[in-house]
Structure formats: structure tokens, C-alpha cells
Structure 1
Amino acid sequence: MSSHDEDDHDLLFAPESVLVPTEHPLDPWVVLIVDDEPQVHEVTELVMADFEFAGRHLLFLHAYSAAEARQVLASRSDVALILLDVVMETEHAGLDLARDIREQMRNHRSRIVLRTGQPGQAPEEHVIKNYDINDYKEKTELTKRKLNTVFFAALRSYRDILIIEQSKMALRRSIEAIQRIYDSHNLKVFASAVLDQVAHLLGYEAQGLCANRIAAYAASHMEGRLHVLAATPEYAGLLDEQGLMQLPEKVKQALDRAEREQRSHFDPHHCVGYYRTSGGSVSLLYMEFSDPVDHEAQELLEIFCSNVAITYEALLLREEVQETQRATVYILGEAVERRSNEGGAHVRRIAELAALLGQAWGLEPMEVEHLRQAAPLHDVGKIGIPDHILNKPAKLDADEWSQMQQHARIGHELLAQSDRRILRMGAQIALEHHERWDGQGYPQGLFGETISLPARIVALADVLDSLMSDRVYKKRWDFETAIDYIESQAGLHFDPRLVTLLMNRLDAVRAIYERFPDTSISAEL
């Protein structure tokens, strides 16, 4: 018996391997057979019925022409291997399809093995050189042993391509996560970004929570207690402080163990990442995974957890600095307002009205926050105006009015000395918030859009709040009368677009006055 016959005999009668059932069977490798001979389909599927690679068996799809194959490939993106006949409805149908797969369908994942019974129609050297295929075989040489070799080589290659693509996707997600964290303006947004990214980063479906225990000197208002920053829907109740009392026992034990032993713990389907920062704060990342987590993923989770802790502590410090800055601005603004016997809530209302209009205008969130912090500084120049002018209950004479107008330049000169963004915006607002849309304002007689947008916004907010507040020279107006006046000044005193934005948000304006009434000076100031 020839060696060729022995191979054929092996092809037909090779013993089947014993399949060991698994608890979580993996999806099979998808193989598409494209050939106009039904017998080729039948024999290939029969011979490879017991094939297994990386714990996964085979799922065969069938197409009997290039046209049918195009339909199959258009509907699926998981075809690992295409066994492609050259000669079908035309002499070069298979070659044309191979080119379309790569160039028209832009499918560079699927491995393509050309099979031909007429090698003269498509010489191997020409085909390998000019077509993006992965192997070229004559049908007569495809015994079971050689088919196994083809399948192993092709599926290994396909698997490696998927790994590379997943790695690239994980890198992209990492970059996106870094950007989201960079753009986060508070700890809750940061924590949500962390939890949203960690499972996707590793390619697993997961649920869990991210928590921190803050060192005493890191943030006094949160010291010592476990603080859940974010949670997937399954653990959403833990975001409430009372919810911590109902921590599931398995989670509590996992977190307690990690803190007690001061190290991370892993088992196939869950992990607790532990990291202690140099500042003494502890970061805990509890995750449950749908599939077993391999060693490489565990290492990445540990690195991720340490970076969460470090970044969280840095953001906590940043937020403390920002809160201190905001409080300082409000204290300074209120001190100026008290000098002129004006309500202490004035600066807070100006800040919120300005932020409302800035957001309505379409400013970016960071710009809105800068506007909120800079707006209370609009009248800081009044510290240079004598008390008898600030508190005069009657109309100012010409000389007094001239002196009062100087507060715009005084405020600008004070604030412009700093190179900090918020203070520089405050300097521009201080200088321009008494300019008018029609050019009849002071101190420079600017008009229209030559007045900076922050100053135009604060000008409207300042006049509205002045009308609705008691002053030494007048009583407050009611809400409707003040709004009517603002509307009448569109295109004269105020930017008409800003007036329209205000009129469309009167409920939000009322809400600001309910939150910050003149009779209630904020205790935290």
C-alpha cells in the first residue's frame, strides 16, 4: 500500500478523541467551506469532526459558490478560517472572492486557505505573490494529517490576531480612561470612569465596587471611614452611607481580609485589589467576573488598583484646593458686599446665575466652573471706594459717580496681577461688567461683542440681582417686574441672546433665589 493510500486510510478511519465536558464550554471556531462540490464539504466536516484547539471545537458553515460566501461573510464577523475553492462559477471565482474579502469587505482577520483541484488554472507562485491568502493546497494532498496541520496553523494565527486587536482595544480604552479621569471635575466622576473602564480594559464582564478609606490628614471631612466611590447596578445601594451597613457578607469578608493582610487577593472569578498610598489612604477594588481571570489579568488589576489609589488621592487634594479657592472667593466677595451693606448671598447668586447662562450659551463644563468662580469678584474694586459713597442713600453727584466708576479699573488692576486663569477672568469681568451692549456703559464705552462674553453674562446677572435686592438707595423689585425690565433692555443694556436664554430658564432662576435668599448667609463662609 502506498503512503498516499495510508494517508487516505488514516483520513477515513482515525479514532475519535474523547471529549471531556466542561462546565463553561467555549464558543467553537467558525470555519467556512466554500466549494461547489458537496462531497468536499461532507468529507472535510467528517474528517475534522473531532478537531479541538485551545479548548474549542469547530462550527462549519457552508457556501457552494462565491456569491453565497459573500452573503455569509456579510452577516458574520467571527469566521476564523475560510477553505476556499479556486474554480467555481467561474475559473477565478475563488481568487476574486479572496481579493474582495480583503479589499472590499476589509476583513483581514479571517485566515484564507485556497484549495484547488486544477492547480494549472492558478499557479501557486502567482497566487501566493498576488493575493493576500495564508496557504495554498491542492485537494489531492489534503489528507487528515495535513488538514490538521492547516487548521492548527490557521487558527493559531487567527487567535494571535484577535489577541493583538484586543490589546490595541485595551490600549485605546486605557487612553480614553486617562482622558476621562483628566477631564473629571470631582471624585464621583473619576470613580465612575474607573469602574466603567476596568472590566472593559481586561475584556471581561464584571460587577463590583470601588472604595477608599482616607487617612486622617488626607481629608479631615472623610477620614477613617470606608467611602464607596462607585458601584455597578448590582451594588448601587452601597453608595448610600446607610447601604454600607448592609454590605453583602462575601464582599465584607473579602474587603476585611484585604485590609487585614494589606494585600490583594484573587480567585478564578473575583478579586480584591488593595493598595496603600504614601499618604496612608487605602484603595480597594472589588470585582466579580463572569469568566475566570488569568494571571496576566490579575497583575494588571493590581497595577490598576495602585494607580486608582494614587490618582484618587491626588484628585482629593485637588478638590480640597479648589474648594478652598471657591470659599476664599466667596468670602472676599461677601466682604466687599458687606462694606456697602448689601446682602451676603449676592455673590453666590451672581455665581450661580452666571453659571446658568454660561451653560445655556454652550460653554464647556470647565469654562462654566471658571465663570462660576470668577463672577463673585466683579465688584472687588469697591474696596477702593470711600464708605460715604458706597453707603450714600441718595443719588450720587457727578464727582461721587465719577469716583464710583473707578471701582471697575481698581478691581481689574488688583486681579490682573495674577497669572491664574480664574483671577484673570475675574479681572476682565471687573473691568467690563458695567459696559453696555449699545456702547453707553463704562469705563471704556465698549459695545456688542467687543465686550467679553464673561463680562456680558455677569452684567446681566448683576443687574437682575441688584433689582431684586434691597440697597441703601432703593427697595427690592418683585421677580416679574425685574424680569420685565431685563427683557426690555435686550439689545440696549444686554446681549439679546443672553436675555433670550434667561427668559427660557425662569424656573431655574427662581430656584437659585430659593437656594440663596438674602436672609440666609451661608454658614460655611
Structure 2
Amino acid sequence: MTNDFLFADDDVSSEETDSNTQEAPHWRVLVADDEPDVHRITRMVLTGFQFDGRRVELVSAYSGEEAKQIMAENEDIAMALLDVVMEEDHAGLEVARYIREDLRNRYTRIVLRTGQPGQAPEQEVIRTYDINDYKDKTELTTTKLNTLMYATLRSYRDICTLNEHRKGLERVIRASAEVFSAGEISGFASAVLSQVTNLLGLQQTALYCSSSSRYDKLHISDKRFRVLAATGEMQEFSDMESFDSIPDYIRDGFEQAMQQQSSQYYENYYIGYFASERGSESLLYVKYHREPSALDKQLLEIYATNVAITYENLLMREDILETQRELVYMLGEAVERRSQETGAHVKRVAKISQLLALAYGLSAEEAELVKLASPLHDIGKVAIPDLILNKPGKHTAEEWAIMKTHAGIGQEILEKSERKILKLGAIIAGQHHERWDGSGYPNGLQGEQIHIAGRITALADVFDALGSKRCYKEPWPLAEIVTLIRSESGKHFDPQLVELLLADIDEFAAIRQQFPD
């Protein structure tokens, strides 16, 4: 069958090419037809064709099976021009079904071409198969093929853009969850920064930073900044807190933006300036290869404003957490001072407990929680009379019975709270005098019946108390402390924790120098 009727001559030419533009990736188009002339003429007609600054690369297949193989091996086929009748009467239809159903490819635009319209009626094919267009080969003049290419590639481009935006939003959502769980802004800012540069077609070179206050009129070199996110060439400046090393033109741009308190657009980069109601100011540097549109600029402003607000919210959250930590230490220290002991004891117990928790295999988050909760281990002593609490000699049986109630009282005080630190503090307060062999108090728990945080704090408390001066004793030498701890392994203390402590005894002993009485 001759194909001379294909692409009848007309006066329409393809889009002009700017020879000065950098070669962009080609649009890959699959041409599946069992007649070589169709491939030759299609190539001839599309010579020089461009869409959105990109040329077309034609990939040829001469059978349905070959078309399937090409589609299976290439995920970047923008458009598939399929002949209906090839090695079989419905080979093209089978390829269309294979692309959509077997490969689950919803992006490639599929156009069926046929020289025998009666073989596969248009309405039935359009209704049955997930294709984007159906053409009689006699319809496809040069003009109409060019029109088809523009419309189809435009559709493919827009679908890919939407998919990239969807993926970007998914990354932002995941990053946001990580930020608010870990309390760190860097992952969130980096993800959003990357997404915005992709979204706007900008270069992957950007820097985002924030300072604490805009009300003190300091020079940029005197202000304290924190780099929240950096990409591309700017990555070397991540986590910096000064701008001494950044390029001069960026420093000058930041200085001008701060002086004018407004964003600045330059020939090939943008400096964003954003100030919050609380007084902090944020700066954004983004490099671009084309002037951003009005929409691009609006997105940049929205991005930086949202990240600045998120950063401030995280700072507020950190302030709350820090206040909570300080209150826990203050409560622990208040109890220790009432016992005529120094507040440094609770800090040492907290640090020793954290190191033991990490050595035991708890996660960093779990170890941090043990560290924060352990200072509350003796909170129940607030209910013990001074005469008993600070008695220098040995307690009577009645006095000792009263003294032991501090464990249960501490648990009762703290367990009413739903806060994680206080809930764990309740467990530690109630169990730090339980013993591995079951001879402890108040409940005679044994072995792993004792919560790991209780076991850790028990060992940390005794280890530090033995090395500390008390109203009833002088501090013990480290060698004697080690001897006692080793002798109580499997009796008072969890044997595994004892091994971990003694294996790195110098590091644990050094904590006393960090927090001396």
C-alpha cells in the first residue's frame, strides 16, 4: 500500500528555533507502524519541529511487540503514534492496552492512526481504550500532524508538571512531619526550597537563613544568623551562624534588603526579605537563569514567609520544651537541697542515665526522655519530714518505713500528668528502689518486671551517690565504688547495665568533673 497521500503539502512551517538557546532534552515520540515509508515521511515532516524549546526524537517500532518492548524499557516516551493494524489486525490496540494496564503508564499520550477506519471504528475504540486521539492517516497533513504534536506534547508536559508538583507536595508533607516530630527546621526548609526551585524552573542554588531580631540596627556582620537550608553551590554554607565566608554580592544583597526591609530582584538572582511580628527577619537567596514571572515572585514570597513562620513556631516550641526541662531540673534540685545535697547530683544522674540508655540500645529519643525524667526520681521526698530526711545516723525501723514511702508518693504526684516526661518520671520515681533480685521496694518487682528506665536510674543514682558527700558519709574512691557495683550485679542491679557501666567507667566518672558539687 502506498503512503504518498500522507502529509499532503501545505504552507505551514514548524516553530522557529533560536540557535542561541542551549540544547534542551528532546521530546521522545514512539512511532509504531509496520510500513517503513510511514517512519520516513514522519521524520521528514517533523524535521526541525520544536515545542517549548525542545526538539523531537522519534523512536521507531515496526511491530506491536517491538513497541511494547520499547515502552517497557523507556519511561520518558511523551507520545506514542500507533498504527492499529501491524502484524495483527488489532496490534496497535493491544499496545495501547499494554501501556495503560500492564505498565500502568498514565502519562504517555497515545494517538492511534489507521489506514483502514472500518477495521476499528472510531467511537468503539475511543470508548473502549484509554487513548488520547484517533486519526485516519488520510487526515494527517503536515499542518494537522504539527497541530497534533503541539496539542499532545502540551498535554504531556502539563501532566508531568502536575505530577512533579504532587511529588513535591508529598516530600513537603513528609518533611513537615519529620520537622515537627524532631523539632528541626533544616529538613523542612531544604525540601521546600528544593520544591520551589523545581516548581519555578530555577537553578538548584539557593540559601535561606534567619536572624533573631530586626529591631537592633546592627550591621549584617554583627548580627547572628542561622542558615536553615542551602542547595547547590550554597550547600557549603549550611548550618553557619555568620556570613563572613559567603560571596560579597550576596552579603551586599542581604544588607540592602535589610536596610530597605524589602525583597530585591537582580539580573540573575533574587534576595527575599521577610520580617515577622515577633521581630525576627529572614533572608532568601535564589539564583535563576530567567527573570521570574509575577506568579514566580508571588510563590517565592509565599514560600519564604511560610518557612519563616514555621521556624518561629518551632522556636516557640523549643522555648516551651526548654522551660519544661528547666522546671524538671529545678524540682529535682529543690528536693536535693532540702536533703542538704547539691543540685548537681540530679544533673549527673540525668547524664549518666542518658549514656547508659544509649549503651543499652535505646534510641536517641528514648535516651533523651530518660535523661529528662530521671531528675524526678526522688520527688517524693518532699513529703518526708526533715528530721528523718536529714538524719545523720541510722534510721529506726519506723523511720525507715516512713523514708521508703517517698517512692510511692513520687509516683502518685507525677502519674496524674499526661506529659511524656512526667509519665516516665512517675515510673522512675516509683521503681528506682526496686532491685533486680526482687528484694527492693515498694512493690518487690524483679528482673525485667522493673521498667528499663527504673533500672537505669537506680544504677545511675547509686553510682553518683556513692561518689558524693552526704550528711551521713564521705565520698567513696572510684575503686571502691566499682567493687560495690560489681558485687551487686544480679542482686541490686541489672547485670547488663553493670557491664555497660564498668566497660566505660572513665567516661561515666568524668561526668562528675562536668557537673561538680
TM-score (norm 1): 0.85
Whether the 8 Å CA contact 2:6–2:138 is kept in 1: the answer is: no
Give SS of 2:510's match. Answer: helix
Query: In the alignment, what sits opposite 2:300?
Result: 301
Deviation, 1:29, is 1.5
Q: Residue 267 of structure 1: CA displacement?
A: 4.6
Partner Cα separation in structure 2 for residue 82 and residue 200 of structure 1: 30
Alignment partner, residue 213 of structure 1: 211
Q: What is the CA distance between 1:195 and its match in structure 2?
A: 2.8
**Is the contact made by 1:433 and 1:456 (CA closer than 8 Å) also made in structure 2?**
yes
Deviation at 1:255, TM superposition (A): 0.9
1:263 CA drift (Å): 1.7
Note if contact 1:345-1:517 (Cα within 8 Å) is conserved in structure 2.
no
Which blocks of at least 5 consecutive residues in structure 1 are unaligned? 219-223
Contact 2:352 2:511 survives alignment (8 Å): no
Find out whether 1:258 has 2:257 as its counterpart.
yes
1:32-431 equivalences in 2 (<5 Å): 32-185=30-183, 189-203=184-198, 204-215=202-213, 225-232=223-230, 234=234, 236-237=236-237, 239-241=239-241, 243-267=242-266, 269-289=268-288, 293-342=292-341, 344-359=343-358, 365-416=364-415, 418-431=417-430
2:513 to 488, 501, 517: 517
Deviations 1:95-152 (A, max 9, x none): 2111111111111100111112233332323222211111112223221122122212
Measure the CA separation in 2 of the matches of 1:282 and 1:155: 43
Contact 1:209 1:228 in 2 (8 A): no
Residue type at the aligned position of 1:288? K
- Alpha carbons of structure 1 residues 494 and 68: separation in structure 2 relative to 1, 3 Å: farther
Question: What is the root-mean-square deviation of aligned Cα atoms in Å?
Answer: 3.2
Specify the SS of the correspondent of 1:399.
helix
- Name the SS of the counterpart of 2:369 in structure 1: helix
SS in structure 2 at match of 1:58: strand
Give 3-state SS (helix, strand or coil) of 1:326's partner.
helix
Change (3 A) 1:65 1:510: farther
Evaluate the alpha carbon distance shift between residue 230 and residue 309 of structure 1 in structure 2; reply closer, same or farther with a 3 A threshold: closer
Please identify, of 249-258 and 322-331, the stretch whose mean Cα deviation from structure 2 is larger: 322-331
Is the CA contact (8 Å cut-off) linking 1:283 and 1:309 kept in structure 2? yes
- Identify unmatched segments of 5+ residues in structure 2: 217-221
CA shift, 1:227, in A, is 0.9
Larger deviation: 67-76 or 151-160?
A: 67-76
User: Which residue is 2:460 aligned to?
Assistant: 461
**Amino acid of the residue matched to residue 441 of structure 1?**
G
Task: Decide whether aligned partners of structure 1 residues 515 and 211 sit closer, same or farther in structure 2, where only a CA change above 3 A counts.
Answer: farther
Matched residue of 2:19: which SS? coil
Amino acid at match of 1:520: P
Query: How many pairs does the alignment contain?
Result: 504
Identity %: 44
Quote the offset at 1:287 in angstroms: 2.4
Which amino acid letter does the alignment assign opposite residue 82 of structure 2?
Answer: L
SS of residue paired to 1:9: coil
Instruction: Determine the C-alpha separation between the residues in 1 that align with 2:140 and 2:71.
Output: 24
CA contact (8 A) 1:336 1:383 kept: yes
Q: Which moved more, 1:134-143 or 1:446-455?
A: 446-455
Residue identity in the other structure for 1:81: M
**Contact 1:28–1:58 (CA<8 Å) still a contact in 2?**
yes
Confirm or deny: 8 A CA contact 2:332 2:378 kept in the other structure: yes
Distance 2:468 2:315 in 1: 37
Contact 2:373 2:425 in 1 (8 A): yes
2:213 is matched by which residue type in structure 1?
A: A
Matches of 1:67 and 1:481 in 2, distance apart?
82
Question: C-alpha offsets along residues 367-411 of structure 1, whole Å, 9 cap, x if unaligned?
Answer: 443322111010122233344544455543423322221221332
CA contact (8 A) 2:209 2:228 kept: yes
Counterpart residue identity of residue 403, structure 1: I
Tell me by how many angstroms 1:418 deviates. 4.6
CA distance in 1, matches of 2:424, 2:215: 33
More deviation, 100-109/442-451: 442-451
SS in 2 for 1:8: coil
Distance in 2, Cα, partners of 1:20 & 1:205: 21
C-alpha displacement of 1:238: 7.0
* Shift in Å, 1:518: 7.3
Per-residue deviation, 1:520: 2.5
Distance (whole Å) between structure 1 residues aligned to residue 15 and residue 337 of structure 2:
89
CA distance in 1, matches of 2:29, 2:486: 70
Letter matched to residue 92 of structure 1: H
Deviation digits for residues 246-298 of structure 1, max 9, x if unmatched?
Answer: 33211112111221221223357432222211112112122224666443332
Q: CA deviation at 1:48?
A: 1.2
Residue of structure 2 equivalent to 1:452: 451
Higher mean displacement: 339-348 or 119-128: 339-348
Q: Which amino acid aligns with 1:79?
A: I
The answer (yes or no) to whether the contact 1:228–1:239 under 8 Å persists in 2 is: yes
Match runs of 1:423-442 below 5 Å: 423-442=422-441
Partner of 2:219: none
1:221 is aligned to: none
Instruction: Tell me the distance in 2 between the aligned counterparts of 1:288 and 1:304.
Output: 15
**SS at 1:434's partner residue?**
coil
C-alpha deviation, 1:450, in angstroms: 4.0
Partners of 1:409 and 1:430 within 8 A in 2: yes
- Match of 2:8? 8
